[in-house]
Amino acid sequence: MHTSIHEKQEKLPLASLLALAAAAFITILTEALPAGLLPQMAFDLAVPESWIGQTITMYAIGSLVAAIPLATSTQGMRRRPLLLTTIAGFVLANTITTLSGNYALTMVARFLAGVSAGLLWALLAGYAARMVADHQRGRAIAIAMVGTPLALSLGIPAGTFLGHWLGWRVCFGSMSALAVVLLLWVRLQVPDFPGQASSQRLPLRQVFAIPGVQPVLFALFAYVLAHNILYTYIAPLLAALGMAPQIDLVLLAFGISALLGIVVIGVLIDQHLRALVLASTALFGTSVLALGLWGNHPTIALIAVSVWGLSFGGAATLFQTALAKTAPTAADVAQSMLVTAWNLAIAGGGLVGGVLLERVGAAGFPPAVTALLAVALLVVWAAKQHGFTQHTQPS
């Protein structure tokens, strides 16, 4: 028995899957890097810091408007040339950002980067799933997604540090260079797949109507909205708990436990997808309850944030795998809906969290977030037949 499992693991095309992980790493880094470089970028481009904050908003808008139309209209294209085109989009966008001395031009580059990201996220899970046998899909997607927590926990702090010492332009220039190396890596190591014949393609509304697609998207939206309300406003929440000076430590604990989370998910996902989604949602809810009730104890707050990181680390992989299994014949279009729901939840987290902070203060976060997670848990629990099924079956 051990031998057969070992043989299955050896068949995973690691070099190809890690190329996809590197693409995810560059995508997340491109998106979030301005957050750590606000003062330098604002000074250099002669605009207020709040305007530089909008470079992240512009990126999200690019992803939001592009994911579904691009994934739908490129269904017939061969996969590797399409993947190379999206990575080339990052080379172009980050090079323009590196050289631009004009705020408006920088915003155009950020929109282009967001467009590239929207299509890339729509491609990644389906691409990873196509490289392996059915019983390895979850693990393949987990490896392809490992670039996300790595970028958040290591890449952004490293980029911020580099930016302080060498200037923010060096950071974006380095990302262009990384993307050029990735173009070569993908060309040499990642297999090509044909696009779908027009007879196989499903229109958007039919993909949306596939049993199980709607519960996965709804649960994902509630879960990610809950996460973003909390994560976007972690500073005021910690300040309310008397832990403002420890924010670096708290975010580090979150990042490390998120990495651990994706490792755990990668090992167990193909056998226990449903149980893992339920556990992830319940653990996240429990950690938020603990923050709300006993968060003024620093040790409890730190443990709660670590549990939250552990549950969130593999969340993207869980939902992407659930969707890839639910809609295997329309994976890229289904994933583009997931990308759109995810970005809406990010935007919604900023808006809803902002309203809560103004109306009730940081104390309003735990009850609101717990309520959202309870709804997500109920949806996952109910979607036993389609969406979050008990057993993984070859599709």
Q: Domain limits of the chain?
A: 11-189, 204-382
Tell whether the model's pLDDT for residue 114 goes beyond 90. yes
Asked if the domains 11-189 and 204-382 are classified in one and the same CATH topology, the answer is yes
DSSP characters over 29-66: HHHHHHHHSHHHHHHHHTS-HHHHHHHHHHHHHHHHHH
**Percentage with pLDDT > 90 across the chain:** 47
CATH-assigned architecture of domain 204-382: Up-down Bundle (1.20)
Amino acid at 315: A
- 8, pLDDT greater than 60: no
Query: pLDDT: is 124 or 181 the higher one?
Result: 181
pLDDT tens figures, 339-363: 899 988 887 888 888 888 889 888 8
Phi-psi region of 242 (alpha: psi -120 to 50; beta: other; left: phi over 0): left
Task: Compute the distance between CA of residue 342 and CA of residue 329 in angstroms, rounded to an integer.
Answer: 21
For residue 5, the model assigns a pLDDT of 42
Query: Which pLDDT value is given to residue 394?
Result: 42
Predicted confidence band of residue 55 (pLDDT cuts 50, 70, 90): confident
CATH code: domain 11-189 is: 1.20.1250.20
Q: Do 242 and 296 meet the contact criterion of CB atoms below 8 Å apart? A: yes
Pick from 219, 209, 214: nearest CA to 319: 219
User: For the segment 236-289, what is each residue's pLDDT rounded down to a tens digit?
Assistant: 888 888 887 877 788 888 888 988 998 899 889 888 999 999 999 999 999 999
